[in-house]
A and B are shown apart, each in its own frame.
Chain A
Amino acid sequence: MPKTGNTATSSDQAKIATFRNLYTRVLLGLQAQEHQVLGVTSSIAEEGKTTIASGLATALAEDGALMGFGRDQDTGVLVQCNVSSPPDDPRLAVRSGPGLVQLIRGECDLEAAIQATAVERLAILPVGDPSHGFPMAIRAALLPEVITQLRSKYGLVVLDLPSILNSSDTQVLARLADQLIVVVRAGVTPGKLVRQALDDLGDETILGVVLNDSSSELPAWLENRL
């Protein structure tokens, strides 16, 4: 089990605080509907879905919040379904080896694919070697079974999904999630594309939208008057 990081630094604590509000709302939403698998996606690439997924998973694991929201297990797992961008948090770094692709293809078992992280109460299921045909693998019948296994072992399964409009893989993977979060990066994503992505997913599975990189360009004195 790799331990690439140590205890949470003050910077990490600040990030946890940043994501605390988000995970609280997410857990409240999931708890109300007894959902356990949360997918994080976006309309297009580069909107920060991996950052939000890993930040959310890390923050709630650090806080040990799962038990508080009525889960039997206090451990969460971050499943990397996005081949293009691994998490940047050094505490979530993974060693090379089998991952989701190999697991679906039956080349390894769940225990061999899942890796512990430097974050307490958080495991990660890396994507594995995508050269083995990620698109074909996720369309295999074994994937729902893998998700079922994860449901039984973890209090919360966070799927870091590809973007909706860039890949049809997301439509396949999104069906495995009980609820979805759509990340919208402020000042980058055109409203038209957000609308199109939400239409593609269907409103009933969407838990909510997270506005990433949000900041007010107005000075405080003006902001307070508007």
Chain B
Amino acid sequence: MSARRYLSTFFRGRRLYIPVLLLLLAATALGTYYLARTQYEATARIWVDKPALDSVLDPNAPSTFVSPGQQQADKITQLLQTDSFVADVLTNTTMLSRLSNEADRDRVIKDVRSKLSVTPLGTNTVKITYAGSDPVVCQQIVQGTIDQFRAWDLTSRVEQSAIESQFYQKQLQIYQDQADAAAKRVDDFQQAHPYPDPSSPQYLELQGLQRESESARSLLNATLTKIEQANAANSLSDTSRQAEFQVLDAPAVPTRPAATLARLVEYIALGVAASLAFLLCVIAFATWQDTTIRSADDLQRLTNVPLLDAIPHLPAGGGAGGGRPQPAGAVRNTQKSTDQFDEPAAVYPSRMGK
């Protein structure tokens, strides 16, 4: 079916389609206004820094630079993708009761997740925003997100340093044994060969044993340092977190509805797109339903019988000399509306008067 046919359907029914489109657009505007009036937004801004002990604890960390803001925002975003974290966030909110219902749980978590946004504002600042219809819940969820992230981060750090400490403790014993063994070998050799001649092979062997002993001792010392650092991280983590994670703007209960321009544009764009899509579907359906012959093209598609002429619809009410008949040759340039087709074959104005 040609584009002309679809366009004809639209222009033929424009007195219906255009008001319907306008109604849909008006509904979109009303909906946007309603949403804008009932949308509250709570926001928190957080200063984040690179953990002070990171470079000490993990000197082999990749050197590619990711800003602390981006790093922390990524972490929070990833945590929000887990149901358990979102459920923990909701623990201290009035929405907690809704989690007890298993049927609602997934929907509530999904809903909260879709309304929470975490974005880095700069290299060291992260913004956490929640938009919803209840201003108190908005504040509670943002605060809950901060609290839960803090708790999770602290726990994970403590656990990490404990694991590190345990690992190095085990290594320490091995290195201690190695160092002791190396020292014993040196002592034994010196007792067997006291004061060897520097030009003798015994002297060279003693030197080798001494180097081994020193190497084992260095390894032991390095491990001891690691254990001390891990213990330091454990004791410092709470205080260091204070500096690494500072809430600059604490989330407050919003007092006025807030709708960002971007969100309004999003709603309006969605509404306009949906309205136009609906109209296009209606036009496509109406065109598909219309099996009547409307043009020479339709006839040509149907049959090889030649089209002799296309006689235009002549306007009614002309009377003798009053009408403005249009020549058949001009038929393709005439504009007619559907309501002019209600009289069959009304070429003669006299018929229209009947």
Q: How large is the interface on B (under 10, 10 to 19, 20 to 34, 35 or more residues)?
A: 35 or more
State the CA gap A48–B327 with chains docked (Å). Answer: 17
Given the interface pairs A9-B321, A18-B314, the reply to whether A209 lies near B327 with Cβ below 8 Å is no
- By a CB distance below 8 angstroms, the chain B residues around A218 are 4, 7-8, 11, 335
Tell me whether A11 and B318 are in contact (CB under 8 A): yes
- By a CB distance below 8 angstroms, the chain B residues around A214 are 295-296, 310-313, 331
Chain B 218-236 near chain A by CB (<8 Å), digits 1 or 0: 0000000000000000000
A65 within 8 A of B: no
Chain A 174-195 near chain B by CB (<8 Å), digits 1 or 0: 0000000110111111111011
Given the interface pairs A9-B321, A18-B325, the reply to whether A215 lies near B336 with Cβ below 8 Å is yes
A223 within 8 A of B: yes
State the CA gap A207–B309 with chains docked (Å). Answer: 12
- By a CB distance below 8 angstroms, the chain B residues around A22 are 308-309, 311, 328
Summed over the interface, the residue pairs from A and B with CB atoms below 8 Å come to a total of 189
Shortest CB–CB separation between residue A200 and chain B, in angstroms?
13
- By a CB distance below 8 angstroms, the chain B residues around A209 are 299, 303, 305-308
State the CA gap A25–B332 with chains docked (Å). Answer: 19
Could you tell me which residues of chain A, from 65 to 119, have a CB within 8 Å of some CB in chain B? 88-90
Tell me whether A190 and B292 are in contact (CB under 8 A): yes
Could you tell me which residues of chain B, from 304 to 350, have a CB within 8 Å of some CB in chain A? 304-314, 318-329, 331-338, 340-341, 344-350
- By a CB distance below 8 angstroms, the chain A residues around B291 are 190-192
Could you tell me which residues of chain B, from 1 to 37, have a CB within 8 Å of some CB in chain A? 3-4, 7-8, 11-12
Shortest CB–CB separation between residue A192 and chain B, in angstroms?
6
Tell me whether A212 and B311 are in contact (CB under 8 A): yes
Tell me whether B294 and A186 are in contact (CB under 8 A): yes
A21 within 8 A of B: yes
Tell me whether A195 and B302 are in contact (CB under 8 A): yes
- By a CB distance below 8 angstroms, the chain B residues around A47 are 344-345
Shortest CB–CB separation between residue B17 and chain A, in angstroms?
12
Q: Chain B: which residue is nearest A182 at the CB level?
A: B305
- By a CB distance below 8 angstroms, the chain B residues around A49 are 345
Cβ contacts A to B, 19 pairs, < 8 Å? A10-B321, A11-B349, A17-B327, A18-B311, A19-B311, A22-B309, A25-B308, A29-B308, A90-B350, A186-B293, A188-B344, A189-B292, A198-B305, A207-B306, A209-B307, A212-B345, A213-B341, A215-B313, A223-B332
Contacts A21-B327, A186-B310, A211-B309 given; 8 further ones with Cβ under 8 A? A14-B327, A15-B325, A47-B345, A51-B347, A55-B347, A211-B310, A215-B334, A219-B11
